[in-house]
Amino acid sequence: MSLEELRDAIDRIAAKIASGPIVPSVTPVDIRTHLAQYDFASPRAIADVSADVERMLGSWHVQVTHPRYLGLFNPSVMPAGVVADTLTAAYNPQLASWRTAPAANEIERHTLRWMAANSKGLRSDGLRGTAIAAAMPAIFGSSISRILAPRRFRAPIPTTSIPCGSATRSISYPTATVR
């Protein structure tokens, strides 16, 4: 699949999500009955299985990227993220060792150092910046928006006085609706 075909697929899925329901109408029995056809007795064409998985996710999934979804904050799908995930899945870099994935390790290091340098109170020099950068993959998800969004809007980032090298750790303020 070319990059252009991948972008077209992303656009097609986004349009389908935007024009459909947000919340699925399905029971566990419905899904289990459907999945019973997959008995693993014989190989199946990847195109057929992929199309079926796409149909299941499109029909039996809360569409958090729907333009009218107003639930918990869930960032929308970005084409660059889909491309990045696709490349990562295709190459399967093993980041446990620099030697096994030098490019991926250096891309991650470069990105995390930039994020640390551009987050209030976090330094990107020496081990101090590396320490905060090393913690980022574990908290990446939507938590990164909590770190970078205040910078964009020039708001202070809440911090505690717990030292982390020369920086402080930022904290979240969950509400009663956090599950």
Compute the average pLDDT of residues 51-73: 88
By the 10 Å C-beta count (0-12 exposed, 13-18 middle, 19+ buried), 47 is classed as: exposed
- pLDDT the model gives residue 156: 52
- The whole-number average pLDDT for the span 127-147 is 49
HEC string for 23-83: CCCCCHHHHHHHHCCCCCCCCCCHHHHHHHHHHHHHHCCCCCCCCCCCCCCCCCCCHHHHH
Q: Where are the domains of the chain?
A: 98-170
Question: For position 97, what pLDDT does the model report?
Answer: 87
Checking if the pLDDT of 174 tops 50, the result is no
CB neighbours (10 Å) of residue 122? 25
Encoded amino acid at 91, one letter:
Y
Q: What percent of the chain has pLDDT over 70?
A: 66
Residue 27 has pLDDT above 90, yes or no: yes
Q: What pLDDT score does 55 carry?
A: 93
The Cα-based distances of 86 to 6, 72, 81 in angstroms read 9, 26, 8
Residues 50-59 have a mean pLDDT of 93
Q: Please give the residue that has the higher pLDDT: either 46 or 164.
A: 46
Average pLDDT for 113-140:
56
| Mean pLDDT score of the chain | 75
